[in-house]
Amino acid sequence: MKVTIDNITVEVEPGTTILQAARKIGPEIAPPAMCYYEPLKASGGKCRACLVKVTAGSEKDPRPMPKLVPSCITQVQDGMVVENTINQQVLDTRKGIVEFLLINHPLDCPICDQAGECHLQDFAFEHGMQQTRYEEERRTFEKTDLGPNIQLHMTRCILCYRCVFTADQITDGRVHGVLNRGDHAEISTYLEKAIDNDFSGNVIDVCPVGALTDKTYRFKNRVWFTKPVDAHCDCDKCKGDVTLWYRGDEVIRVTARKNQWGEVTAFICNKCRFERKKTSDWVIEGPTKVARHSVISANKYGANKIVPEFARRLAASQYKDVKEGRNLEQLSIQQLPEERFKQLVAPAGESAVAGIRSIQNWADDK
Amino acid sequence: MQLTNRAKKIDKSEMTLAERMYLPAIAGGMAITLKHFFKKKPTINYPEQKRYLGPVFRGHHILKKDEEGRERCTACGLCAVACPAEAISMVAAERKEGEEHKYREEKYAAVYEINMLRCIFCGFCEEACPKQAIYLRHDEFVPVFMNRDEVIYGKDKLVEDMNHRYLREGWK
């Protein structure tokens, strides 16, 4: 099946949604998603953040769809033409969606632990307006505890239902759901019963905002001062692949690994999340790759350091080999032994070294 | 050919005897000196007297309190991440019940430190602050320090004194 999104055509399987097709093209084209979560069945269609314009329904029936459609639950048809970032109506609507989502959101980002990795923050930053027009009183709730390790700030909730689907599908025996309707709807456990399932902690990771937060991490540090590190352990309940968040030598938080779209594919158990908070409990794999535009990379994190291509080329062209009999202690970076030079200039690996070698040959020819 | 009107004619005539003895020049110099005796002095006696530095001077940091005397800072960390010199560090804590009169929000900075050796007084922290908590005073310098122990300023030196509140023009 062929589908065209923002003038880019992509071949997809029948049954794919527009959002998945757009994600296949790339993050620039993909509509934002606040409620849709690929690993959770039946999620999506709640927040309206991913509305797109379908300008041609299919090959057979090329009439445009009369209204904007939620791309996360609309399946593609052969020859469908979709406009996402190039349609002004879509962008205007998205602005309105941000306003609606923020109507009851408290905007306490300076306090909230999610700030810096909050999807609503990103969404509002990219698509929203700078000022609010809302003057009425916002709905507020007392914060409640869901079990000993999870805290629910219902005030911040945008009712995406992700945690409910998680509780439904990952944990068996559900004690957590949405009560009441409309403006009064709230996430709750019946009679504030504790969730004692082994995987209940995953509702923290799936929450796009700071409504469900880790009590063991509460106010420990801002996310942009912590250093994420990929690690794994032998766990009999879960796969054990996690991200450890360090402050100095101390693990202050353990979360599941998130992919490019901020989605967790391998859920982790509560023991890994809340109890294993020592480096000795884990096998460290290396620093987590953090996108350069993310605020987390503002912490001068070594893993994100980019050696620009021109700097590498300059270093390679000026590289001089160490000759025998020189005082090795007084060598500068250009005169380092070749192995050391390779480590410095090309931490990326063999391909970069090969690249430098070819540039060196090119420089020698000149 | 005359190009501009700035050219000066030089008097190359022979000097008189008085002029050759520099008498008119000395008298002129003395007159200038005498005139300065009666002028207002531009010098001020610095530590006792202080000059007004202007409304936008960036001096000593202050952590503001609100009208009810509660600390405004919520330890959000935006000043620290904005700081190009990495001078600011903080530890957040949760406000306990009964402390509502001390801290405005449910989170507050239990420790807030600025390393004054690192600080370059750029004012980025002031710009980044979403709670209008940190300001750089326009009326006070960071004093000279004699010892490295005095360099790191904690909350004891930074938090506003409610008896001597810091106000700026245009805030009232």
The pLDDT of B101-113, averaged and rounded, is 92
The predicted structure's pLDDT at residue A297 = 78
Q: Residue A164: what pLDDT?
A: 82
The residue of B107, B124, B129 whose CB has the most chain A CBs within 10 angstroms, and thus the best one to mutate to test that interface, is B107
Note the CATH architecture for domain A133-217.
2-Layer Sandwich (3.30)
The helix/strand/coil state of A217 is: helix
Amino acid at residue number A17: T
Per-residue pLDDT, averaged over A183-211, amounts to 77
**Chain B residues within an 8 Å CB radius of A109:** 76, 130
Average pLDDT over residues B129-139: 92
Instruction: Give one DSSP letter per residue of A298-340, joined into a string.
Output: GG--GGG----HHHHHHHHHT--PPPTTS-GGG--GGGS-HHH
pLDDT of residue A310: 66
With CA atoms as reference, the chain B residue closest to A110 would be B76
The beta strands (E) that lie in chain B are given as 61-63, 88-94, 107-115, 134-136, 152-153
Residue type, B147: N
Domain carrying residue B99: 61-158
**Tokens 């909730």, residue?**
A157
Better-predicted residue by pLDDT, A352 or B29: B29
Is residue B82 within 8 angstroms of chain A, CB to CB? no
Partners of residue A111 in chain B, C-beta under 8 Å: 74, 76, 105-107
- From A290's Cα to the closest Cα of chain B, the distance in A is 17
Chain B's closest residue to A300, CA to CA, is B81
The ipTM, to two decimals, is 0.72
Q: Classify the C-alpha dihedral A40-A45-A50-A54 as positive or negative.
A: positive
Average pLDDT on A150-173 reads 83
Residues for chain B: how many in total? 172
- The kind and range of the H/E element at B128 are helix B124-128
Q: What is the mean pLDDT of residues B18-30?
A: 93
Contacts by A309-316 with C-beta closer than 8 Å and gap 24+? Answer: A312/A345, A312/A346, A312/A352, A312/A355, A312/A356, A313/A359, A315/A341, A315/A345, A316/A345, A316/A356, A316/A359, A316/A360, A316/A363
Radius of gyration of chain B measured on its C-alpha atoms: 28
Chain B neighbors of A219, CB-CB under 8 A: 75, 92-94, 107
Residue B17 lies in a domain: no
Determine the average pLDDT of the residues in B122-145.
Answer: 92
B110 in contact with A, Cβ within 8 Å? no
The pLDDT value given to residue A304: 47
Q: Is there a contact between A299 and B93 if contact means CB atoms under 8 Å apart? A: no
Query: In this predicted structure, what is the pLDDT of residue A339?
Result: 61
A312 close to A352: Cβ distance less than 8 angstroms: yes
Residue B142 lies in a domain: yes
What residues of chain A lie within 8 A of the CB of B133, using their CB? none
Find where tokens 């884990």 sit: A282
**Residue B119 covered by a domain:** yes
**Least confident range of A62-66, A314-318, A361-365, B38-42:** A361-365
How far is CA A108 from each of CA A111, A153, A365, B81, rounded to the nearest angstrom? 6, 11, 61, 18
Domain spans in chain A, listed from the N-terminal domain onward: 2-97, 133-217, 223-303, 309-365
How much is the mean pLDDT over chain A? 81
What is the percent of chain A with per-residue pLDDT over 90, rounded to a whole number?
A: 36
Please answer yes or no on whether B78 and A110 come within 8 Å at the CB atom.
yes
Return the axis-axis angle of helices A88-102 and A119-127, rounded to nearest 10°: 130
Strand (E) or helix (H) holding A3: strand A2-5
Cα separations (Å) of A39 from A258, A288, A341?
A: 11, 21, 44
Mean pLDDT for the stretch of residues A119-127? 91
Residue B5 inside a domain? The answer is no
Residues in chain B closer than 8 A to A121 (CB atoms): none
Residue A312, pLDDT above cutoff 50: yes
Lowest mean pLDDT among A93-97, A150-154, A315-319, B40-44: A315-319
Sheet holding A212-214, edge to edge: A144-146, A150-152, A212-214
Which carries the bigger pLDDT value, residue A178 or residue A140?
A140
Q: Which structure tokens are listed for A79? A: 């020859």
User: pLDDT by residue (tens digit) across A193-206?
Assistant: 546 678 888 889 99
Distance CA B40, CA B57 (A): 26
- Pick from A109, A111, A252, A253 the residue to mutate for testing the B interface (most B CBs within 10 Å): A111
What CATH code is carried by the domain that includes residue B147? Answer: 3.30.70.3270
What is d(CA A122, CA A101) in angstroms, rounded to the nearest whole number? 13
If you classify domain A2-97 with CATH, what class do you get? alpha beta
pLDDT of A322 strictly over 80: no
Kindly report, residue by residue over A215-224, the tens digit of the pLDDT. Answer: 999 998 899 8
Minimum mean pLDDT range among A2-11, A94-103, A330-339: A330-339
pLDDT the model gives residue A28? 86
Q: pTM, whole model, 2 decimals?
A: 0.76
Evaluate whether residue B107 is within a structural domain.
yes
pLDDT digits (tens, 9 = 90+) for A249-307: 889 999 999 988 889 988 899 899 999 998 888 998 888 888 777 888 776 555 445 55
Residues 6+ away with beta carbon under 8 Å from A121: A109, A114, A115
Domain total of chain B: 1
**Helical H runs in chain A?**
18-25, 88-102, 119-127, 162-169, 202-206, 270, 309-317, 338-345, 350-365
Which runs of consecutive H residues, i.e. helices, occur in B10-113? Answer: 17-20, 23-37, 78-82
| Pairwise CA distance, residues A21 & B45, whole Å | 75
Question: For A1-60, how does the pLDDT look when each residue is reduced to its tens digit (9 = 90+)?
Answer: 899 999 999 999 999 999 999 999 988 889 999 999 998 888 888 889 999 999 998 888
Question: What are residue A250's phi and psi, to 5 degrees?
Answer: -105, 130
Residue A191: the pLDDT is: 43
Note whether B92 contacts A220, CB cutoff 8 Å. Answer: yes
Mean pLDDT of chain B: 91
Distance from CA of A130 to the nearest CA of B (A): 14
Which residue does chain A place closest to B133, by CA atoms? A110
Tell me the C-alpha distance between A249 and A282, whole Å: 13
pLDDT at B136 over 90: yes
Burial of A100: CB neighbours in 10 Å, binned 0-12, 13-18, 19+: middle
The reply to whether B128 touches chain A by the CB within 8 Å rule is no
